[in-house]
Structure 1
Amino acid sequence: MDAAELLALDAEHVWHPYGPMPSTIDSLLVREASGVRLTLDDGRELVDGMSSWWAAIHGYRNPVLDAALAEQAGRMSHVMFGGLTHEPAIRLAKTLVDLAPEGLRHVFLCDSGSVSVEVAVKMCLQYWQSVGRKEKRRLMTWRGGYHGDTFTPMSVCDPEGGMHSLWRGILPDQLFLPRPPGGFADEPDQDYLDLLATEIGRHAGELAAIIVEPVVQGAGGMRFHPPAYLRALREITEANGVLLIFDEIATGFGRTGRMFAAEHAGVTPDVLCLGKALTGGYLTMAAALCTPEIADGISRGELPVLAHGPTFMANPLSSAVANASLGILAEGGWKSDVPRIEAALKAGLEPARELPSVADVRVLGAIGVIELDHPVDMAVATEVLTGNGVWLRPFRNLIYTMPPYISEAEDLVAITSAMVSAAQKA
């Protein structure tokens, strides 16, 4: 089929994320991808500044990841994980334990980031049930967050500004704190620290866990906050008998300049959620890591097993390519690549500060954000960006980038120039 036929079928049958059915906007037809470039069916090349929703940190057609995938496919593509196990999953779990903040010893491998949040919450709820505290069943978070599109994660996404306000009255009723004030490099606000202590203490009897995205709130608004708030959360939750979940699906594996954003604060949560870049963007996989205390508590309960078991849990192909991706990270190149990208984003986005419609420009690690004072005109923004040879996916009032770590200087210039141009016109 030619491109026109494919796109017609796409419009008729394929329901794209966050889009209507039938679609009102034609998608761009990608023929292939290599390095940091997407090649469209019409021959145009676009620099991918999104890392395919923040996952393809090593770019496309990486020879190490390609080889790992092919080798594993020649041995075993899938086997159920109930009652069986295999080397790629065992190796992956051990590597994640070694990389993660100290104290996280047990790994539940699942299908997607949203599912890892479901698993993390289930771990916490089942822990309290198992130790005889069934009244501890609510969650707390701060506004401006995003944790996924399945029901439990939706219940702890921003209840007003997020896309999930549609489900108010249907989702579980959770507790929300104000957005954390300040930027990454700012001193923490003492009034906010006092508020954390007061509210967590007030609700400790009913709280199973607090869940937050450490340092960077992703799809809820691309906001950065001081790591001191994470240290405060750890101290307050421990003092009040409340569990702490860090959602590092977007921030894990080097994106903020540390392997995990929790390292900026030097604290360990009770449960850690990982995904996206885990397999270098090749296959879907996520993980929920927990402390021995959580696992032991569940094991002593009336139901002494974690009541969750995805069909494709610990898929060997995903496990093998995740091991290869983590192997590339272990070589350490990202430790210089991310600061290099950060410097290029700061320099390239600086001109946007002078634009009258720009409310803020912020950069942390390999994350660059232009915040407008109005919603982005998606049609105009996409035309400007692709016209400049760049693929980005703005949302709400944000034009942002999370480029692959292999992006070269000229790629970053193209990305930032396109972002500034889009901010002028969109």
Structure 2
Amino acid sequence: MTPLEFDQHHLWHPYTNVAKPGPTFRVTEAEGAWLTLDDGARVIDAMSSWWCMLHGHRNPRITGAIHAQLDKLPHVMFGGLTHDPAIELGRKLLEMSPPSMQRIFYCDSGSVAVEVGMKMAVQYQYSVSQTQRSKFVTIRSGYHGDTWKAMSVCDPVTGMHHLFQGALSIQYFIDKPKIRIDEDWNPDEAENGLAALRETLEKHNDIAAFILEPVVQGTGGMYFYHPEFLNQARAICDEHGVLLIFDEIATGFGRTGQMFGTDHTNIEPDILCLGKALTGGHISFACTMTNDRVAEGIGHGEPGIFMHGPTFMGNPLACVAAKASLDILSEGGWVRQTQRIEAQMSEELAPAKSFKGVEDVRVLGGIAVIEMDHTVSADVAHGLAKENGVYLRPFAKNIYSMPPFICSEDEISQITAALLKLAKVL
């Protein structure tokens, strides 16, 4: 049995049918923006390996940090123990994140960061004698991960987890913000979507927090909405004693053209979930940050401790990788990179607006989307990867790319050419 045959018979890949696994490429090496396949073919990783590989594959500063740490302390439990990689990463996170975010809880993955954020919200409400507040409100077309509680705040109708509806906690859903990021803000709450949030919070006193992805919805549809919605949602949440959680797993670390999606607004959340690009994509890691009010509220209530503690929390290898990635971002090159990518992709994808079947073309920072009026096939796109020299993985109606920030102009042009080609054939 060849390696690929073994893979297809025994290894279960994300969102696949084991009886019909579809095209799969065996990657033997990766460097920069490029993947090398087992037959020697090279393709650009235009997905940044699901949006996390900001600085490209095998960035020497990140891999160097991991190598050096490996010989000293690969892992130690975080219960009652600590280490310099966790402390130094914490200092860097506080330096870069919204000022009110003062408490950091390290976790294993983005989905777990969301789980932790939701648990924080419920335990905070319990601690301040709002024990009835255990549910959440969110917006439709959102996506927050594949673990159990995170699934409950993904769209229950159009989302990937609708078949689990009967088993999941029932949450409150309102329509996604109606005004796009490039449109003029309409102050009428019925028109901008805030009336639904206000009505929901006035009607239900069992809501712990409002959770959503700021400015950009990711897997739920790649929708870019107006940041003023968030500014005013903050005030409405405050009026009703409801916390605000920003899921920045996808939007954090420069992807939207700002360091965080939060930076498109003039407010800050109570809880901030980070992951994906935290380590520059080199190793799984995430964190949930919160303010002193939430953290101390939990500490002063019963049982007096926060009830969560992953085995691999604060892993030293992940901490040094994340610190190296954040050091690179601190140097500021990402600003020029995302501005260049946004301008180039906007210009080169503009012709798609006139293509048959194209519903919308939108670009923000390092995100480009061609939205079709029909569902597209990821398998067909995979089949064209070698021919195009670009690996893309469309989903639902969206043909999109989130390229590594380090991509050259020629590499971006190769990506946009592949996007245009898929828009014609899918």
TM-score over 0.5 (shorter chain):
yes
Matches within 5 A, 1:293-304: 293-304=293-304
Q: 2:149 aligns with which of 118, 134, 152?
A: 152
Matches within 5 A, 1:269-418: 269-418=269-418
Consecutive unaligned residues in structure 2, runs of 5 or more: none
In the alignment, the residues of structure 2 paired with residue 195 and residue 367 of structure 1 have an alpha-carbon distance, to the nearest angstrom, of 29
In the alignment, the residues of structure 2 paired with residue 110 and residue 133 of structure 1 have an alpha-carbon distance, to the nearest angstrom, of 27
What secondary structure is seen at the aligned counterpart in 1 of 2:169?
Answer: coil
In the alignment, the residues of structure 1 paired with residue 389 and residue 230 of structure 2 have an alpha-carbon distance, to the nearest angstrom, of 39
Per-residue Cα deviation, 1:115-141 (whole angstroms, up to 9, x for no partner)? 000000000101111111110111000
CA contact (8 A) 2:385 2:391 kept: yes
> Identity of paired residues, percent?
48
| Matched residue, 1:212 | 212
* Residue correspondences, number: 422
Q: 2:158 aligns with which of 133, 137, 161?
A: 161
In the alignment, the residues of structure 1 paired with residue 406 and residue 221 of structure 2 have an alpha-carbon distance, to the nearest angstrom, of 25
CA contact (8 A) 1:7 1:26 kept: no
What secondary structure is seen at the aligned counterpart in 1 of 2:28?
Answer: strand
In the alignment, the residues of structure 2 paired with residue 121 and residue 167 of structure 1 have an alpha-carbon distance, to the nearest angstrom, of 19
What is the deviation of 1:144? Answer: 0.6
Q: Does 1:202 align with 2:199?
A: no
Per-residue Cα deviation, 1:173-198 (whole angstroms, up to 9, x for no partner)? 00000121122121234222333222
CA contact (8 A) 1:154 1:164 kept: yes
In the alignment, the residues of structure 2 paired with residue 384 and residue 420 of structure 1 have an alpha-carbon distance, to the nearest angstrom, of 12
Matches within 5 A, 1:83-94: 83-94=80-91
Pair 1:385–1:370, CA change in 2 (3 A): farther
- The aligned amino acid for 1:404 is P
TM-score, normalized by length of structure 2?
0.97
What secondary structure is seen at the aligned counterpart in 1 of 2:36?
Answer: strand
Question: Which stretch has the larger CA shift, 386-395 or 359-368?
Answer: 386-395
In the alignment, the residues of structure 1 paired with residue 206 and residue 183 of structure 2 have an alpha-carbon distance, to the nearest angstrom, of 32
Per-residue Cα deviation, 1:369-406 (whole angstroms, up to 9, x for no partner)? 00001110233222234311000110011100000000
- The aligned amino acid for 2:120 is M
Per-residue Cα deviation, 1:233-259 (whole angstroms, up to 9, x for no partner)? 111011111000000000000001111
| Matched residue, 2:92 | 95
CA contact (8 A) 2:42 2:386 kept: no
| Matched residue, 2:21 | 24
What is the deviation of 1:21? Answer: 2.0
In the alignment, the residues of structure 2 paired with residue 81 and residue 90 of structure 1 have an alpha-carbon distance, to the nearest angstrom, of 12
What secondary structure is seen at the aligned counterpart in 2 of 1:323?
Answer: helix
What secondary structure is seen at the aligned counterpart in 2 of 1:39?
Answer: strand
- The aligned amino acid for 2:225 is H
CA contact (8 A) 2:248 2:272 kept: yes
Q: 1:72 aligns with which of 69, 73, 76?
A: 69
- The aligned amino acid for 2:111 is S
What secondary structure is seen at the aligned counterpart in 2 of 1:144?
Answer: coil
What secondary structure is seen at the aligned counterpart in 1 of 2:277?
Answer: helix
CA contact (8 A) 2:271 2:289 kept: yes
| Matched residue, 2:233 | 233
In the alignment, the residues of structure 2 paired with residue 318 and residue 370 of structure 1 have an alpha-carbon distance, to the nearest angstrom, of 34
What is the deviation of 1:218? Answer: 0.1
- The aligned amino acid for 2:126 is Q
What is the deviation of 1:110? Answer: 0.3
Q: 1:82 aligns with which of 79, 82, 88?
A: 79
In the TM superposition, structure 1's runs of 4+ consecutive aligned residues that sit over 4 Å from their partners are none
Consecutive unaligned residues in structure 1, runs of 5 or more: none
- The aligned amino acid for 2:145 is G
In the alignment, the residues of structure 2 paired with residue 277 and residue 123 of structure 1 have an alpha-carbon distance, to the nearest angstrom, of 23
CA contact (8 A) 2:113 2:288 kept: yes
CA contact (8 A) 2:98 2:268 kept: yes
CA contact (8 A) 1:13 1:22 kept: no
| Matched residue, 1:12 | 9
| Matched residue, 1:245 | 245
CA contact (8 A) 1:384 1:421 kept: no
In the alignment, the residues of structure 1 paired with residue 19 and residue 33 of structure 2 have an alpha-carbon distance, to the nearest angstrom, of 30
In the alignment, the residues of structure 2 paired with residue 193 and residue 55 of structure 1 have an alpha-carbon distance, to the nearest angstrom, of 32
- The aligned amino acid for 1:193 is L
What secondary structure is seen at the aligned counterpart in 1 of 2:359?
Answer: strand
Question: Which stretch has the larger CA shift, 51-60 or 371-380?
Answer: 371-380
- The aligned amino acid for 2:86 is A
Pair 1:255–1:143, CA change in 2 (3 A): same
In the alignment, the residues of structure 2 paired with residue 131 and residue 378 of structure 1 have an alpha-carbon distance, to the nearest angstrom, of 48
What is the deviation of 1:23? Answer: 4.3
What is the deviation of 1:275? Answer: 0.1
| Matched residue, 1:183 | 180
In the alignment, the residues of structure 1 paired with residue 385 and residue 345 of structure 2 have an alpha-carbon distance, to the nearest angstrom, of 16
TM-score, normalized by length of structure 1?
0.97
In the alignment, the residues of structure 1 paired with residue 109 and residue 73 of structure 2 have an alpha-carbon distance, to the nearest angstrom, of 21
What is the deviation of 1:35? Answer: 0.7
